[in-house]
Amino acid sequence: MRVLVTEDHEDLRVAVDAALRGAGYAVDTACDLPEADEALSVNDYDCAVFDRMLPAGDALRYVAGRRRTGWPVPVLFLTGRDAVADRIDGLAWGDDYLVKPFAMAELVARVGSLCRSGGPVPPPVLRHGDIELDSGRHEARRGGRPLPLTVKEFRVLHRLVVAEGAAVRRSELIAAAWDELVPPASNVLDVVVVQLRRKLGPPPVLHTVRGVGHLLR
């Protein structure tokens, strides 16, 4: 079994490499996404382990892009981000999610489970009322009707669905939808919210909580 480990923290990368080799795996390592991309272009792997936040960006977005092309390798994300929304996002595009700090024996066991699975778990379909979000296909529906959403509209709606009816702050919605830094006072989110309301149609489901943000109800 061959595993690719992408981790920018050298000590942790070396430790994971040693633990997996000690368990009998062939291991290649990368310290960033370009190096991982090169390794994946020339080698076949039974599992890939990615640190979530890397110097070149969020590994989740990188994996999501590969998934859309049909890439089948099971993925384990390592991360210090343990919020429910982060775990759901990780499982939408990866196959397992391990929060730092972790026991090395647990990582080895999870990698073994993914290698035996023979392929990725289908991404979950999230639901809130009559709204459905298929993260794997990047499709949205309301009452069975397809919603032609842009990437940023989908990301904002995804974050709201994950919140299960709780209000989500503007800053969180902006962080979820925009890769670049956007000032909280910017009106880019307001534009997306207006477009989402129009596309979601009646009855109204996307509401504003003054001074806080937005929610689905």
How confident is residue 121, by pLDDT bands cut at 50, 70 and 90?
Answer: very low
Q: Where in the chain is the domain with CATH 3.40.50.2300?
A: 2-117
The structure tokens 């999230």 sit at: 126
Q: What is the dihedral of CA 84, 156, 119, 4, to 10 degrees?
A: -80
Distance (Å) of CA 116 to CA 19, 57, 190, 208: 18, 29, 46, 46
Residue 139 is given by DSSP the state E
Q: Where in the chain is the domain with CATH 1.10.10.10?
A: 125-216
Helix axes 59-67, 33-42, angle to 10 degrees: 30
pTM (2 d.p.): 0.54
Residues 16-55: tens digit of each pLDDT? 999 999 888 889 999 999 999 999 888 889 999 999 888 8
Residues 64-113: tens digit of each pLDDT? 888 777 788 999 998 876 666 666 666 666 788 888 888 999 999 999 98
CATH fit for domain 2-117, picks 1.10.10.410, 3.40.50.300, 3.40.50.10710, 3.40.50.2300: 3.40.50.2300
DSSP-derived pairing of the beta strands 2-6 and 26-30: parallel
Both structure tokens of 127:
């639901």
Helix axes 151-162, 84-93, angle to 10 degrees: 130
